[in-house]
Amino acid sequence: MTDLTALKYSEEHEWVALDGTTATIGITDFAADALGDIVFVELPAVGTELSRGDVFGEAESTKSVSELYAPVSGTVVEINDAVVDDPALVNSSPFEGAWLIKVEVADGALDGLLDRDAYVAITEA
């Protein structure tokens, strides 16, 4: 199991895990539950330059469409083809199997993101 307290979070319900200079990004269980069953995920091409707040993709459920917002700035170095092939992973494994993209980031890229307690607080507001 992922240690959720080791992740950082955005107010748009993305999570970020940092390993060296590589940030792995996904959406939270809260967001996945709110959307319902995810049936389509669109992700950016490797090499795409993202600035924090950019729309980097879309997640569609049977009922709705949601844009995905980059929680950090950087260059996309890898995308998760498994989740494009099987979007239901977002619901079944939001923090593990359904990571969405990996982004090469600069020092301090995660500054200003929320810790677990602060994120949980906004989902319970």
Partner 1 sequence: MTEPRYTPLRARHEALGASFTDFGGWQMPVRYTSDLAEHHAVRQAAGIFDISHMAEFTVVGADAAAYLDYALAGRLSAMTVGKAKYSLLLAEDGGIIDDVIVYRLDDADFLIISNAGNRDAVREALQARTDAFDVTVADVSDEYALIAVQGPAAEAILAEVTGIDEVSIPWAEQKYYAWATATYAGKPLLLARTGYTGEDGFELLVAAADAEALWDAVLAAGEPHGLVPAGLAARDTLRLEAGMPLYGHELTLETKPAQAGLGRVVVADKERFVGKDALAAGPAPDARVLVGLSAEGRRAGRAGYAVVAEDGTPLGEITSGALSPTLGHPIAMAFVDASSAEEGTAVFLDVRGTKIPATVTALPFYRRKK
Footprint of partner 1 (CB under 8 A): 33-34, 36-37, 39-40, 42, 58, 60-63, 65, 87-88, 91
Dihedral in degrees, nearest 10, Cα atoms 17, 107, 50, 94: 0
By beta-carbon proximity to partner 1, the closer residue of 38 and 70 is 38
In angstroms, what is the minimal distance from the CB of 40 to partner 1?
4
Q: Tell me the pairing of strands 55-61 and 38-42.
A: antiparallel
By beta-carbon proximity to partner 1, the closer residue of 69 and 113 is 69
By beta-carbon proximity to partner 1, the closer residue of 17 and 43 is 43
Rounded to the nearest angstrom, the gap between the alpha carbon of residue 97 and the centroid of all alpha carbons in its chain is: 12
